[in-house]
Structure formats: C-alpha cells, structure tokens
Structure 1
Amino acid sequence: MHLLKMSDLNPSDIEKLIQTAKRFKSNPYDEQHRGFIANLFFEPSTRTKLSFEMAEKRLGYQTIDFSTESSSVQKGESLYDTVKTVEALGVSAIVIRHPKERYYEELEEAVQVPIINGGDGKGEHPSQCLLDLYTIHEEFGDFHGLNIVISGDILHSRVARSNALTLQRLGANVTMSGPSFWQDAELGIPYAPIDEVISKCDVLMLLRIQEERHDLKEDHEDYLTNYGLTQEREQQMKKESIIMHPAPVNRGVEIASTLVECERSRIFAQMNNGVFTRMAILHELVQGGISNESITKKCSII
C-alpha cells in the first residue's frame, strides 16, 4: 500500500511499474482518476515536487499543496499529527519528503492511504530510483549484465543507496566511484577510480555534492579534474553508453557544463520520464495494482 523504500518492491512489481510508465508515456491521458493527492515537502524540491504535481494532474487528481512556513508545523505540530490530519481530510494518497531518515516508521501502520516516500534524509528515494530504472530499461531493454558506475557523494546520497542495491539485485554490475571520504562501506559495493571504469561502463550515474548534509563546507575547485566527468573522460566512454544525473546539476563540478546536454546525456530525459514513472506509481498504489501482500515481500533477485 505504501512505497517507502525499494526493498518494498519485488522484481515483478518493478517490471509492472516500468510497463505502466511506458504505457503512460505513449498516452499520458490514458487513465483518469478522481480524488486528491497531498504533497508534503519538508525539504526544498524542484524536480520531484513538480514532477509529482504534473503526474497527479495528468491522472486527473487535484493536488493539495503544503508549506511548512504557513502550516501548524510552525506551532509545533508533529509529522504524525500533520499526516493524520491530511488523511482525515479524505486524500487518496500522500507524498512526503522529510529530512529525517525513516520518518515513515511511525506512519506506515497508522496511515491507511498510500504514502509515497519522496526522499527521507540520506535514506532512500524510491520514485527517483524507479524513473532511473525506467530510463535505463528504455535505453537497453534489460538490466542483467550492464556495467553501471555510480560516482560522487555516495555517503550522503539517498539516490545512490536506492539505485545501487536495486540495480545489483536486478542483475547489473554496480561499481562506486568518488572521493574516499564520501564512500559508504555499509553498502558492500566495490569502489574504483573513475579513470579505471569510465571506458567499461554502460551507464555513468553522476551524483550531486550534497553540501547541505556536510558538516563542513569544502572547496570543490579540483573536484571535476579529480573525480568528475571531463570532456577527456567522456571521449573514453563506449559509443552506446549514457550519462545520468538525478539533478540539480552543479555544472563544472560533477560534470563539464558542455556535457550536460550532449548526445549521450539522459539528464533531461530522466526528468521527462519522472512524470510517467510517478503516474505509474500513483496509479498502481491508489488503484491497488500493487497489493499489500506484494509490497511487503522482500525483493528477490531476478
């Protein structure tokens, strides 16, 4: 009923969501629903928030916007009471982004309408992962045997966590890259310098430096040269390989500005695919296409 983390989904659920997103991309107005969706964003967002709003409106839902600055959060209202209030108003689903990791643990048994995790601190970002999976599937048709490099600020990235573990379970060969001080040993995924893997990867997934989650502000003047995607490194990539990035992009830091919209870049395609993927998520969860029984099973390897 909820979509909180990628391990909630088994492979057949992921395949169903990809195929539903594909159907919506070919006909964005194929399904029309009635009801209301609440978007509770406790952290700043452009792509995720607007993408969910676009998905909701294309499906026919009315959206309930939320601002922490003008809500009872300013009076000390808890997340639990805020969510229960919105549920009591009669919404069909609730999208939540919150800075606290696993914020949803106090909600998942108490809230009966679907909760969609729009990002929990450094935890996970399942809808971003699913749109990335859709983008990769659209390009290659499968995940098994693909060489995927996730490079950048791994330690602070919920996108890295969701994508790495899910892609690995779907049969991809996943390697991490980036500065040693931003590695996350708990993921159990091998690391390699970007110059060792750039010519072998099918997908290079770059990550934003998460300045807002760092204890100290750092100088990133040499980051592009040492760890990022320069024009010289891009020329070493295989002809059919692609570049991805969840955005926002720090041009000239993670990636040379000229490469953001180059032929192999799928950065803006990801944003476009995000609308159809989030349409699929809303459709399947609210309409019951992914059941409680299915979504509570642990994901097995395809």
Structure 2
Amino acid sequence: MASQFDAHGRLRHLVTLKDMPRTQLAALLDRAESFLTPMGAQPARSDALAGRTIANLFFEPSTRTRASFELAAQRLGAEVLSLDVSTSSRAKGESLLDTIYTLQAMQIDIFVIRDAQSGVPAFICEHVAPHVAVLNAGESHLNHPTQGLLDVLTMRRHLGDLSDKVVTILGDIQHSRVARSAHHALGTLGVGELRLVAPPALRPDPAEFPGAVMLDDTDAGVRGADVVMCLRIQRERMEQTRAPDGSDFHREFGLTPERLALAQPHAIVMHPGPMNREVEIAGSVADSPQSVITEQVTNGVAVRMAVMQTVMETLHD
C-alpha cells in the first residue's frame, strides 16, 4: 500500500491508525479539540479548505459517518460532493478506478471512501494524483480510523491520561472495525488495560489484538472499568453463528444498569451507533448521566475537520 505519510513524515492519507506515531495521533486529537465549542454555541468554522472539493464515496450505507464528514468539510469552507451509491457509475459496471479518475478530473482534492471490501482505500491511495488525499471512512471489518480517533478523544476529555485506565469493549469484536481501530489508538496511547468481551462465536483471533485481555464473562469484563463501550450487534450475524440472540444476548452480554454498577463510579458509557436498545445496551444506560454517546457524535465532526485540514496542509505546504 502507498504510505500514509509523505517523505517528511507528515500525514498524506488516512487509512489506518495501526502503527501511527504517538506524536501524530496526539496532534490530531489536539487539533480536533480546538474545533470543539460548547453545546448551544455556534460550531467552529474555518476557511482552511476554501476552494477545495471533497468527494464522499460511500459504497456502503451510512448516516452518521457520511453526515459527519459532510459537515466537517462544509465547516472548513469546502465544497462537498456526495455520491448516491444506488445510482453511481460503479453500480452500473464502471470500474472503481474509472470512477476515481473521472472525479479526479473534476478537480477533487480529498476522497472520503467507505467500502465493505478490504483494501479499497489503500488501493485508491496507490492510484490518485500526488495532489489528492484519501480518507478511510470505514473498511470491511478492518479499519475505521476517524471513529478510533473520536473514541479516544472522548475518553481523553473525560479521563485525561489513559495509562492507568481500563477500557472494556463489549459485543461482536470479531467483525468490528470500530474495535480494531480503538485497539490501534489505545495501544499507541498506552492504555492501562483493554478488555474485549464477546460470546465465543463472536470472539476474534487473539493475534489480531495483541495485548488485549479476552473474556466471555461480562461481569468480570465490566468490573472496575473506566470506560465501557458497547458495539452494535447485527441480527443477521446472530442467525449465522451460535451467538445468543436478542433477549438472550442482552441477559448474557448486554450493558445493564446492574452491570454498569460494577464499573468505576466515574465510568463513561460509549457506543459508535446505531444502537439496538435492550440488546447490546439497556435504554436506561444509553440515556444515563454516564453516557457520552452524543458527545462521540459531536467529537466525530471535530476529528474529521482535524484530519481534513491536516492532510490538506501536507499536500499544499
């Protein structure tokens, strides 16, 4: 794959958080934090991307991530083109690269790519022009780097230094790009302990998560945690595996008020969305004072602003 970094080590594309230097990850978080304003205040705006054009190519359905990237680009002053996947040229049989080259000829500066296939963002990085950046907005089960950034930004804002903290992730770890990107970011920041709790049928290969503690006892996983993040359970995966379904999953692996009481009193509750209430998380927990789920959404716009401004500076310095 083409390097994410230019010859001077600056961020050129964003495909993965794996092996990203801590200084660069922290710089992205710091820049994102500078874009945050109090709720009710006007959102931060800039003309840093004035005259630039961002193309959102979402070949996989998305509401939150797509809207977040659109708002981030607009708040930086960019023009935004979002393709309707159902009527896109790719759906009509045009090759992916032909689509990229066609849009590149329209003077696109940044491609934001979401695709269910592994390797698509990296493949596009290898073929775009030198003045064009590629951002991964979700790739198969492997990477979701801006989600990883917004998750650790949320943790950092509430807990500060994570080196003595326990982060627990509950749910379908095996198929989760959110869990993988969180693992990459938390490892770089030196989290005290990362616990991954999943039914045996949804447990990943431990080699994919070096340093993490794998558990199938939810109470043990939550006990003493500073962060508890639930992952969306896809009903079709329950049908395809031997994972417990619906109410059974909620009873064995869901985050209930009783389980949350086992965590630290200051523990925060997270979820990347969309949620299945009363499956992976109780509605009362999702709406509790400990929940920072809506803050994650707010932080996501700021993170995407930070990433886009950073790559554009690299390309046009």
- Residue identity matched to 1:55: A
1:9 and 2:20 matched: yes
Q: Are residues 180 and 275 of structure 1, via their aligned partners in 2, closer, same or farther at CA, if it must alter by over 3 Å?
A: same
- CA RMSD in angstroms, aligned pairs only: 1.9
User: 1:233 is paired with a residue of what secondary structure?
Assistant: helix
**CA offsets 1:98-140 (integer angstroms, 9 cap, x no match):** 0101112322221131100001111110010001111111111
Q: Which runs of 4+ in 1 moved over 3 A?
A: 210-215
- Matched with 1:190 is 213
2:296 paired with 1:270: yes
Q: Contact 2:246 / 2:279 at 8 angstroms: preserved in 1?
A: yes
2:247 is paired with a residue whose SS is coil
Is residue 46–residue 75 contact of structure 2 (8 Å, CA) maintained in 1? no
- Alpha-carbon distance between aligned partners in 2 of 1:253 and 1:214, rounded to the nearest angstrom: 12
The equivalent of 2:195 in structure 1 is 175
Q: Does 1:47 align with 2:64?
A: yes
What is the deviation of 1:8?
A: 5.6
State the partner residue of 1:109: 126
Other-structure match for 1:128: 147
**2:198 partner amino acid:** G
Counterpart AA for 2:134: I
Q: Which has the higher contact order (CA 8 A, sep 6+)?
A: 1
Aligned with residue 68 of structure 1, among 75, 78, 85: 85
Unaligned runs of 5+ in 2: 1-11, 38-42
SS of the residue corresponding to residue 119 of structure 1 reads strand
Q: Percent identity?
A: 36
Between 155-164 and 192-201, the greater mean CA deviation after superposition: 192-201
Unaligned 5+ runs, structure 1:
292-302
Q: Which position in structure 2 is the counterpart of 1:88?
A: 105
Distance in 2 of aligned mates of 1:289 and 1:72 = 28
Q: What secondary structure, in the 3-state scheme, does the structure 2 residue paired with 1:204 have?
A: strand
Q: List aligned pairs for 1:1-302, cutoff 5 A.
A: 1-7=12-18, 9-26=20-37, 28-34=44-50, 35-112=52-129, 113-172=132-191, 173-185=193-205, 186-187=207-208, 188=210, 189-192=212-215, 193-211=217-235, 216=240, 219-288=245-314
1:247-279: per-residue Cα shift (whole Å, max 9, x none)? Answer: 000000011111112111011110011111110
For the residue of structure 1 that corresponds to 2:114, the secondary structure is strand
Deviations 1:31-57 (A, max 9, x none): 442211000001110110000011011
1:157–1:210 CA contact under 8 A, matched in 2: no
- What is the TM-score when the length of structure 2 is the normalising length? 0.87
Shift of 1:25: 1.0
